[in-house]
C-alpha cells in the first residue's frame, strides 16, 4: 500500500472516490444498457429485447452500435458486422426454442433474426470499398474475389505484418507452395509479441507443415508446443510412436520446444535461434 501511495501520490481512499468518475467516463454517461436504449431507442430497435435468449451478444451489439453512431469508421462497422453475425447465430438457435409464456416472444426472435440477416448484408455492402486487410480478407472468404485480389496485393507490405494477417495469407498459399507457406507462418510467429496477438493456429499449421515435409524433429517440437497451448495434437505417447527417436533426441527436442514456448510468450521468437539434431 505504501508503495502505491508513493508511486502515484494518492492513497486508495482517494482512488475509491475517483473510481465512479472513471467509470462514468468509460460508459459515456450511460450506466446500463437500459439507460442507453432509453436515450437512443434506434440502437435497440429490431432486436429481441426483454428476452432472456441471446442476452450477451445482443448487449454487446447494442453498445457497438453506439460506437458506430459516434464514429462510423470501417473498424467500428466491421466490429458491428462481426457482432451481428454472432447475434444472428445465437438467434438461429433460439428461434426454435418455444417460449413458456408469450408466443409474441418467439415472433420477436424470428423478426430479429430476419433483421440481423438484412443488417449483415447492408454492412457487408458498406464495407466493400474498405482498404483494411482484415475486412478485405473477410470479404474474400465470403465470395468477393476482387477483395481477395486487393488483399493479395498487400503481400510484403506493413499492412499484413500481424500474426493474424500472416495466418490468413498462409491459408491462401497452403495449397500452392508448402515452402512459401512455411516462410509465411514463420513470419507470423516472429511478429508475435506475446499473448495479446498470439495466433494458436500458426503453431498447429507449423506442426502440420513440418510433418508434410517429412521433418520429424521439427514436427515433434511443434506438436509439443501445441500441447502446451492445448491444441488438437497427438499426446506425448502417440508422438513417440509417430516420430521414433532415441531418448537423448527426445530430451533435446523437449528443451527446444520449451524454449520456443517461452520465446513466443515473451515475443522473442526467431526462426534461426533453434537447433535440431
Per-residue pLDDT at 167: 98
Residues for the chain: how many in total? 277
**Does 16 have pLDDT greater than 60?**
no
Q: What is the 3-class SS of the chain, one letter each residue? A: CHHHHHHHCCCHHHHHHHHHHHHHHHCCCCCCHHHHHHHCHHHCCCCCCCCCCCHHHHHHHHHHHHHHHHCCCHHHHHHHHHHHHHHHHHHHHHCCCCCCCCHHHHHHHHHHHHHHHHHHHHHHHHCCCCCCHHHHHHHHHCCCHHHHHHHHCCCCCHHHCCHHHHHHHHHHHCCCCHHHHHHHHHHHHHCCCCCCCCCHHHHHHHHHHHHHCCCHHHHHHHHHHHHHCCCCCCCHHHHHHHCCCCHHHHHHHHHHHHHHHHHHHCCCCCHHHCCCC
Per-residue pLDDT at 8: 34
Residues 43-69 pLDDT 10s: 999 999 988 899 999 999 999 999 999
pLDDT band of residue 29 (cuts 50, 70, 90) is low
Lowest mean pLDDT among 10-19, 89-98, 248-257: 10-19
**Does 156 have pLDDT greater than 60?**
yes
**Does 130 have pLDDT greater than 90?**
yes
Task: Report the share of the chain in percent with pLDDT over 90.
Answer: 80
Residues 229-255 pLDDT 10s: 999 999 999 999 999 999 999 999 999
Per-residue pLDDT at 50: 86
pLDDT band of residue 107 (cuts 50, 70, 90) is confident
pLDDT band of residue 95 (cuts 50, 70, 90) is confident
What is the overall mean pLDDT for the chain?
88
Average pLDDT rounded to a whole number, residues 141-162: 97
pLDDT band of residue 216 (cuts 50, 70, 90) is very high
**Does 18 have pLDDT greater than 90?**
no
Per-residue pLDDT at 97: 64
CB 236, CB 227: distance < 8 Å:
yes
Per-residue pLDDT at 135: 98
Per-residue pLDDT at 11: 42
Closest to 236 (Cα-Cα) out of 246, 248, 227, 249: 227
pLDDT band of residue 277 (cuts 50, 70, 90) is confident
**Does 275 have pLDDT greater than 80?**
yes
pLDDT band of residue 94 (cuts 50, 70, 90) is confident
Residue ranges per domain, the chain?
32-127, 165-265
**Does 6 have pLDDT greater than 70?**
no
Amino acid at each position: 500500500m505504501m508503495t502505491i501511495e508513493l508511486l502515484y501520490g494518492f492513497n486508495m481512499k482517494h482512488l475509491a472516490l475517483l473510481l465512479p468518475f472513471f467509470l462514468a467516463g468509460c460508459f459515456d454517461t450511460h450506466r446500463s444498457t437500459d439507460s442507453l436504449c432509453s436515450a437512443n431507442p434506434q440502437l435497440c430497435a429490431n432486436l429481441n429485447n426483454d428476452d432472456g435468449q441471446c442476452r450477451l451478444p445482443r448487449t454487446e451489439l447494442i453498445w457497438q452500435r453506439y460506437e458506430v453512431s459516434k464514429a462510423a469508421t470501417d473498424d467500428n462497422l466491421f466490429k458491428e458486422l462481426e457482432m451481428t453475425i454472432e447475434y444472428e447465430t445465437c438467434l438461429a438457435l433460439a428461434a426454435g426454442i418455444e417460449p413458456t409464456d408469450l408466443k409474441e416472444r418467439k415472433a420477436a426472435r424470428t423478426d430479429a433474426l430476419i433483421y440481423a440477416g438484412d443488417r449483415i448484408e447492408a454492412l457487408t455492402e458498406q464495407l466493400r470499398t474498405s482498404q483494411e486487410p482484415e475486412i478485405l480478407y473477410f470479404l474474400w472468404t465470403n465470395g468477393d474475389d476482387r477483395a481477395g485480389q486487393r488483399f493479395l496485393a498487400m503481400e510484403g507490405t506493413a499492412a499484413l505484418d500481424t500474426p493474424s494477417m500472416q495466418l490468413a495469407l498462409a491459408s491462401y498459399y497452403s495449397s500452392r507452395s508448402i515452402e512459401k507457406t512455411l516462410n509465411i507462418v514463420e513470419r507470423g510467429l516472429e511478429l508475435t509479441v506475446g499473448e495479446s496477438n498470439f495466433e494458436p493456429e500458426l503453431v498447429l499449421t507449423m506442426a502440420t507443415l513440418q510433418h508434410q515435409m517429412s521433418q520429424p524433429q521439427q514436427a515433434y517440437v511443434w506438436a509439443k508446443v501445441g500441447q502446451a497451448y492445448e491444441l488438437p495434437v497427438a499426446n506425448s505417447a502417440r508422438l513417440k510412436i509417430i516420430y521414433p527417436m532415441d531418448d537423448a533426441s527426445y530430451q533435446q527436442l523437449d528443451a527446444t520446444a520449451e524454449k520456443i514456448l517461452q520465446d513466443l510468450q515473451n515475443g522473442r521468437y526467431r526462426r534461426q535461434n533453434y537447433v535440431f539434431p
